[in-house]
Amino acid sequence: MKFLIQKVSSAEVSVEKNIVGKIQDGLCVFVGYKNDDTNEDINYLVKKLVNMRIFPDKNKTKYFEKSILETNYKILLISQFTLYADNKKGRRPSFLSAAKSEIAKKLYKTTIDIINSYNITVETGKFQAMMEIKLTNIGPTTIIIDSDERN
């Protein structure tokens, strides 16, 4: 399981020109799953995500001082199987490493529930839809965390 995390001043996701998720100030998080990902992977990455000191203090003198738990910021969570693209052979990426849609959908729902359990507001994209994402990245700050790296 992977999170691609971007600190944003605003982010929104649309499906067929209709906004389905939108935040001001927070994190836009793209999530990818593999078939063998478990609730343990989700718990590990969500705990890392919500405790990551990525926001500045109130005086903006220390830029990586506060976590999202210490702010009133929100998360826009978007499922993105292309995080598991494999470009080793040929010119067209393979997505065989990505979880099958029925597995990924359950993992995505669980991820939302676990983030919500921390009392953080989560907006989402629409699973398996063609989405258009607009965001304003601050910094820019973009961080990738992978549950495979915990061992």
Catalytic residues: 82
Please name which of 109, 9, 119, 121 lies closest in space to residue 75, comparing C-alpha atoms: 121
Q: Give backbone dihedrals phi and psi of 118, rounded to 5 degrees, phi first.
A: -90, 10
Please name which of 27, 24, 19 lies closest in space to residue 3, comparing C-alpha atoms: 27
Per DSSP, what are the bridge partners of residue 86?
94
> What is the DSSP pairing of strand 18-32 with strand 122-124?
unpaired
Place of tokens 């067929």: 16
Contact 7, 73 (CB under 8 A): no
> What is the DSSP pairing of strand 18-32 with strand 131-146?
unpaired
Task: Tell me how far apart the alpha carbons of residues 140 and 145 are, in angstroms, rounded to a whole number.
Answer: 16
